[in-house]
C-alpha cells in the first residue's frame, strides 16, 4: 500500500515536471550542440607552457525565444534572460598531441570515474551599456562547473553571435584551479626530469550550436 | 629490422658485444635464450589501455605478448593457441589473460577490442576476416598471407571495415628512426640514389624440435613450400618495404636465386637467398639473406651520388664522398669509424639527447624493439578511433557520416601502415619468392596491386 502511494506520488511528480518543461519549451528556443566546437586548456609547468585541445562540446542552450539574438541592436535589454544550458565535454576528447601527457591528464582527472566535464547555466544577463552594432552580444553568465566529480560555481563573460542563419556561436573563457576540483596538479617524471604542472589553467571555448527545426517548434 | 631470435641462433655480433651467458651458451652449442624469453619490463597501465588478444603463440606471438606487457596502452586480456603448452607458456607472461584454444572463442569475447595475429601466414585469411567481421582492431603480421589472392581478400575486408584499425605488421613503418630518415633520403641528403643493398645474416637452422613429430612439422612451417614464403617472405619483406617506402616507388621486376647450402634436412625452403629488384630510374637493389653465416648481421644501405647511408638496428650513419657538398651540421655530428671509413651518425632526436648531456650515437634514442613502436601505434590509434567515434555519436548523434568522418580526420594518430602498404609489400615478397622458386625474372604488373 505504502509502495503504491510512493509510486503514485512519483508519477504525479513526473507528470508535473514534464508539464513544466513543456511549458518552458514554448517560450525557449533550443540550440543544440553541433560539431566544429573547440575547447582549449592553456596551462603552465616548470619547463614550458602547455596547451590541450578538444573538439567536442555537447549539450544544449535554451534561451527565451523572444530575446533578440541580433548583433545589429544598439543596446541590449537590461534584464536577466530566461535561459538554461547543459554542457558536457568528454574528458578523453581533450588532447595534448602527445600520448604520455594525455595519459597523465586522464589519470589526474580520474577519467574512468568521471568521464565528463559538465556545466549547468544558472543565470544569464546581458552586459549593460552600449552595444556596438555588428559585434557579438556580451553576457555575464553564472553556472556550476563539475570537473572530476567536484562542482564549483563559476562566473564568466560570454559572447554570442548568430551565423549561417540558424547557428549560434558562444565564446568564453575562465581560469580554473585544479585543486578547487580536487585534482592534484600532475608532476610526471619524464626523460628531462620532474615536471611540475601549475595549478591554474585557462579554459577557453568556442561552442557551436544550432537551432534545429524540430527543436524550434 | 630486428626479428626474433630463433633457437640455435648464433649471432656473431651479439656474441662480440659482450660475453653474455647467452652468447657463451650458444658458443658451446647450447640453446640460446632468445628474444622470446626476454621479458621487457612490465609497464604501468594507463587508463587508455586497450584490451588486446594475441592469436598464435609461437616465437613471434610470445614476443608480442611480452611487448604488449611493456606498453602502457596495452592490456593483454586474452590468449589463443590450439596447442596447450604454447598457451600455457604465453600465459606465464600474461597470467591474467583468458586462455582460448579456438580463435573464434577469443573473437567472441566482448572484452577484447583488439587482436594481434601472429599465426603462420597461411592461417591469416580466415582469422583476419573473422576478426574484422567481429569488429576487432587487427594487427596482422606480414606477409599478410601465403597467396596474393588471400592477401587481397584481407585487404578488401580491411578497406571496408571503417570503424576499426587494420595495421599490417610492417613494424619499421612506425619506428621513429624511420620517420627521421625518410625525409633525409627523400630530400636527397645522400644525393641522387644509385642503388641499394640489404642483408640479413644469421647462423640458425630455423628448425624447432619437438618430441611429437606432428607438432614438429607444425612448428617448422617455415621450412616447407606449402606453408612458407621463405626468407624473402618471412624476413626480407621488412627491409624491402622500407626501401620501397623511402623511394616512394614500387619495384618493376625481381629475379632471385635460392639454395639449400647447409641445412640439408627435409626442408624445401632455401637457407641462402639472393635477389635483385629493379626500381624505376634504373635503380637496382640487391638483397642477401642467409641462415648459414652471421657475418655483419643485418642492415640496409642506400648509395647516393654524394653519400652512402647505412641503416642498422635503430641507428643510421652517412658516409660522405669527398666531393660532396658540405651540409654544415655534420661538422658537429658524432662520427664512428668503420674500418677505413668514417660514419657520420644520423640520429633521430639528437638535439634532445645532447640536451641531456648524453652522446647521440652511444645513447640509442629508441631502446625498444621495433614491434614496441608498431604495437604502441596500433593500440593508440585503435583507442583514438574508438573513443572519438563514441564521443562524437554520443554528443551529436550518428546520422551525419560526413561530419563524423571530418571529425575523425582531425585525430592526431601515430604513424602506421594501412592495408594498402601491407598488401603491396606482401605482393612484392610473394613474387620474389616465386622468382626464386621458378628461377625466372618476374615483371610486376599493376593489376596485381589492385585491391
Q: Would an 8 Å CB–CB cutoff place B51 in contact with chain A?
A: no
User: Which residues are A193's β-sheet partners?
Assistant: A190
pLDDT in tens, B232-245: 999 999 999 999 99
Residues of B in Cβ contact (< 8 Å) with A111? 47
Is A209's Cβ below 8 Å from some Cβ in B?
no
Query: For residue A30, what is the enclosing H or E element?
Result: strand A28-33
Phi, psi angle pair for B301, to nearest 5°: -125, 135
Residue B443 has which C-alpha cell? 615483371
Q: Where are the domains of chain A?
A: 28-216
Distance between CA atoms of residues B335 and B342, nearest Å: 6
Cα of A40 vs its chain's centroid, Å: 12
Chain A residue numbers touching B46 (CB-CB < 8 A): 103, 106-107
CB-CB: which of B46, B352, B395 is closest to A33?
B395
With contacts defined as CB-CB under 8 Å, which chain B residues touch A56?
391-392, 395-396, 407
> Which residue in B107, B110, B98 sits closest to B126, CA to CA?
B107
Contact between chains at A97 and B412 (C-beta distance less than 8 A)? yes
Contact A102 B48 (CB under 8 A): yes
DSSP-assigned states of every residue in A51-66: EEEE---EEEEEEETT
Does the beta-carbon distance from A107 to B380 stay under 8 Å?
no
Is the per-residue pLDDT at A72 higher than 60?
yes
Beta bridge pairs of residue B341: B338
Strands B307-312 and B315-320: antiparallel
| B238: closest CA of chain A, how far (Å) | 26
pLDDT of residue A188: 80
Cβ-contact B136, B157 below 8 angstroms: no
Instruction: Note the ipTM here.
Output: 0.84
- Which among A53, A54, A58, A92 is the top mutation candidate for probing chain B, defined by the most B β-carbons within 10 Å of its own β-carbon? A92
CA distance, residue B220 to nearest chain A CA (Å): 39
- CA–CA min distance B396, chain A (Å): 6
Q: Distance from B362 to chain A by nearest Cα, in Å?
A: 17
Closest C-alpha among B126, B172, B167, B159 to residue B145: B126
CATH code for the part of the protein at A28-216 = 2.40.128.110
pLDDT at A215: 43
CA separation for the pair B188, B305 (Å, rounded): 9
Read off the DSSP letter of residue A114.
-
Residues of chain B found within 8 Å of residue A92, distances taken between Cβ atoms: 48, 387, 391
| Shortest Cα distance, chain B CAs vs residue A96, angstroms | 10
Q: Which domains does chain B have, with CATH numbers?
A: 1-34 (no CATH), 39-119+371-416 (3.40.50), 175-355 (3.30.360.10)
- Check residue A105 and give its pLDDT: 92
Which band of pLDDT confidence, cut at 50, 70 and 90, is reported for residue B27? very low
Q: Is the pLDDT of residue B42 over 70?
A: yes
Comparing B47 with B280, the larger pLDDT belongs to B280
Q: How far is A179 from chain B (nearest CA, A)?
A: 21
Looking up cell 562542482 gives A151
> What is the tens place of the pLDDT at every residue in B104-157?
999 999 999 999 999 999 999 999 999 999 999 999 999 999 999 999 999 999
CB pair distance less than 8 Å for A34 and B410: no
- Confidence bin at A112 (pLDDT 50/70/90): very high
Whether the Cβ atoms of residue B35 and residue B321 lie closer than 8 Å to each other: no
The answer, yes or no, to whether residue B20 has pLDDT greater than 90, is no
Which range (A156-170, B70-84, B205-219) has the least confidence?
B205-219
Q: What is the pLDDT of residue A71?
A: 85
pLDDT digits (tens, 9 = 90+) for B164-201: 999 999 999 999 999 999 999 999 999 999 999 999 99
Q: Is B99 exposed, middle or buried (0-12, 13-18, 19+ CB in 10 A)?
A: middle
DSSP state of A164: T
Q: Please report which confidence band the pLDDT of residue B37 belongs to, taking 50, 70 and 90 as the band edges.
A: very low
Minimum distance, in Å, between the CA of residue A143 and any CA atom of chain B: 21
- Residue A191: pLDDT over 80: no
**B367 vs A160 pLDDT, higher one:** A160
The 3-state secondary structure of chain B, one letter per residue: CCCCCCCCCECHHHHHHCCCHHHHHHHCCCCCCCCCCCCCCCCCCCCCCEEEEEECCCHHHHHHHHHHHCCCCEEEEEEECCCHHHHHHHHHHCCCCEEECCHHHHHCCCCCCEEEECCCHHHHHHHHHHHHHCCCEEEECCCCCCCHHHHHHHHHHHHHCCCCCEEECCHHHHCHHHHHHHHHHHCCCCCCEEEEEEEEECECCCCCCCCCHHHHHHHCHHHCCCCCCHHHHHHHHHHHHHHHHHHCCCCCEEEEEEECCCCCCCCCCCCEEEEEEEECCCEEEEEEEECECCCCCEEEEEEECCEEEEEECCEEEEEECCCCCCCCHHHCCCEEEECCEEEEECCCCHHHHHHCCCCCCCCCCCCCCHHHHHHHHHHHHHHHHHHHHHHHHHHHCCCCHHHHHHHHHCCCCCCCCCHHHHHHHHHHHHHHHHHHHHCCCEECCHHHHCC
Residues of A in contact with B392 (CB under 8 A): 35, 56
Nearest to B146 by CA among B171, B126, B160: B126
pLDDT at B58 over 50: yes
Chain A residues close to B48, C-beta within 8 Å: 92, 102-103, 106
Residue A78 pLDDT exceeds 70: yes
Partner residue opposite A93 with nearest CB, options B73, B391, B400: B391
Q: pLDDT tens, B348-380?
A: 766 666 666 666 555 667 889 999 999 999 999
B48:A106 CB<8 A? yes
Mutate to test the interface with B, among A57, A99, A189, A208 (most CBs of B within 10 A): A99
CA atoms of A177 and A91, how far apart (whole Å): 16
| pLDDT confidence of residue B357 | 67
- Per CB-CB distance under 8 Å, the chain A contacts of B403 are 35
Most B CBs within 10 A among A37, A38, A96, A102, hence the mutation to make, goes to A102
| Cell 590468449 found at | B79
DSSP H/E element including A84: strand A83-90
Q: How far is A11 from chain B (nearest CA, A)?
A: 28
B405 inside 8 A of chain A by CB? no
Q: Give the tens place of pLDDT for each residue, A113-151.
A: 999 999 999 999 998 878 888 899 999 999 999 999 999
Q: B412 CB near a chain A CB, below 8 Å?
A: yes
Helix (H, G, I), strand (E, B) or coil at A151: strand
Chain B residues 357-376 with a CB less than 8 Å from chain A: 376
Amino acid at each position: 500500500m505504502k509502495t503504491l502511494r510512493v509510486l503514485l506520488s512519483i508519477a504525479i511528480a513526473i507528470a508535473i515536471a514534464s508539464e513544466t518543461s513543456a511549458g518552458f519549451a514554448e517560450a525557449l528556443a533550443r540550440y543544440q550542440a553541433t560539431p566544429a566546437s573547440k575547447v582549449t586548456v592553456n596551462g603552465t609547468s616548470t619547463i614550458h607552457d602547455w596547451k590541450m585541445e578538444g573538439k567536442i562540446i555537447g549539450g544544449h542552450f535554451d534561451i527565451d525565444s523572444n530575446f533578440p539574438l541580433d548583433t545589429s541592436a544598439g543596446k541590449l535589454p537590461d534584464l536577466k534572460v530566461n535561459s538554461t544550458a547543459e554542457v558536457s565535454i568528454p574528458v578523453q576528447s581533450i588532447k595534448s598531441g602527445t600520448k604520455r601527457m594525455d595519459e597523465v591528464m586522464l589519470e589526474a582527472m580520474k577519467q574512468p570515474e568521471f568521464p565528463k566535464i559538465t556545466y549547468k547555466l544558472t543565470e544569464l544577463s546581458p552586459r549593460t551599456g552600449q552595444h556596438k552594432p555588428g559585434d557579438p552580444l556580451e553576457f555575464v553568465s553564472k553556472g556550476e562547473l563539475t570537473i572530476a566529480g567536484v562542482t564549483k560555481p563559476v562566473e564568466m563573460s560570454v559572447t554570442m553571435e548568430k551565423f549561417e542563419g540558424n547557428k549560434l556561436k558562444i565564446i568564453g573563457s575562465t581560469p580554473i584551479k585544479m585543486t578547487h576540483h580536487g585534482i592534484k596538479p600532475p608532476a610526471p617524471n619524464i626523460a628531462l626530469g620532474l615536471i611540475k604542472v601549475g595549478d591554474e589553467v585557462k579554459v577557453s571555448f568556442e561552442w557551436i550550436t544550432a537551432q534545429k527545426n524540430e527543436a524550434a517548434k | 629490422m630486428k626479428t626474433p631470435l630463433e633457437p640455435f641462433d648464433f649471432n656473431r655480433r651479439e656474441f662480440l658485444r659482450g660475453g653474455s651467458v647467452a652468447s657463451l651458451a650458444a658458443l658451446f652449442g647450447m640453446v640460446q635464450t632468445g628474444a622470446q624469453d626476454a621479458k621487457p619490463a612490465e609497464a604501468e597501465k594507463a587508463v587508455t589501455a586497450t584490451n588486446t588478444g594475441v592469436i598464435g603463440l609461437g616465437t613471434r606471438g610470445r614476443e608480442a605478448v611480452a611487448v604488449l606487457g611493456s606498453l602502457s596502452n596495452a592490456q593483454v586480456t586474452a590468449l589463443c593457441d590450439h596447442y596447450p603448452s604454447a598457451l600455457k607458456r604465453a600465459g606465464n607472461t600474461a597470467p591474467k589473460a583468458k586462455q582460448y584454444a579456438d580463435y573464434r572463442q577469443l573473437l567472441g569475447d566482448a572484452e577484447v577490442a583488439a587482436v594481434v595475429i601472429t599465426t603462420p601466414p597461411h592461417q591469416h585469411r580466415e582469422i583476419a576476416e573473422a576478426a574484422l567481421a567481429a569488429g576487432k582492431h587487427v594487427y596482422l603480421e606480414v606477409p599478410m598471407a601465403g597467396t596474393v589472392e588471400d592477401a587481397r581478400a584481407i585487404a578488401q575486408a580491411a578497406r571496408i571495415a571503417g570503424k576499426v584499425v587494420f595495421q599490417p605488421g610492417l613494424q619499421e613503418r612506425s619506428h621513429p628512426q624511420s620517420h627521421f630518415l625518410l625525409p633525409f633520403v627523400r630530400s636527397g641528403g645522400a644525393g641522387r640514389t644509385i642503388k641499394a643493398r640489404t642483408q640479413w645474416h644469421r647462423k640458425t637452422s630455423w628448425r624447432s624440435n619437438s618430441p611429437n613429430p606432428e607438432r614438429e612439422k607444425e612448428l617448422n612451417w617455415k621450412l616447407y613450400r606449402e606453408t612458407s614464403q621463405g626468407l624473402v617472405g618471412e624476413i626480407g619483406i621488412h627491409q624491402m618495404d622500407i626501401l620501397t617506402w623511402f623511394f616512394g616507388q614500387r619495384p618493376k621486376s625481381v629475379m632471385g636465386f635460392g639454395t639449400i647450402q647447409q641445412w640439408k634436412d627435409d626442408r624445401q625452403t632455401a637457407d641462402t637467398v639472393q635477389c635483385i629488384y629493379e626500381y624505376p630510374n634504373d635503380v637496382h637493389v640487391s638483397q642477401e639473406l642467409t641462415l648459414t653465416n652471421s657475418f655483419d648481421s643485418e642492415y640496409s644501405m642506400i648509395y647516393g651520388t654524394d653519400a652512402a647511408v647505412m641503416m642498422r638496428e635503430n641507428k643510421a650513419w652517412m658516409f660522405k664522398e669527398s666531393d660532396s657538398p658540405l651540409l654544415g651540421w655534420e661538422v658537429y655530428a658524432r662520427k664512428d669509424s668503420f674500418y677505413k671509413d668514417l660514419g657520420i651518425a644520423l640520429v633521430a632526436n639528437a638535439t634532445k639527447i645532447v640536451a641531456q648531456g648524453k652522446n647521440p650515437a652511444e645513447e640509442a634514442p629508441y631502446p625498444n624493439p621495433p614491434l614496441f613502436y608498431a604495437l604502441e601505434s596500433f593500440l593508440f590509434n585503435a583507442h583514438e578511433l574508438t573513443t572519438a567515434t563514441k564521443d562524437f555519436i554520443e554528443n551529436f548523434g550518428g546520422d551525419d557520416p560526413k561530419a563524423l568522418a571530418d571529425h575523425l580526420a582531425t585525430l592526431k594518430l601515430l604513424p602506421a601502415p594501412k592495408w594498402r602498404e601491407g598488401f603491396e609489400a606482401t605482393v612484392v615478397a610473394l613474387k620474389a619468392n616465386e622468382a626464386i622458386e621458378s628461377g625466372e625474372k618476374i615483371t610486376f604488373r599493376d593489376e596485381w596491386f589492385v585491391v
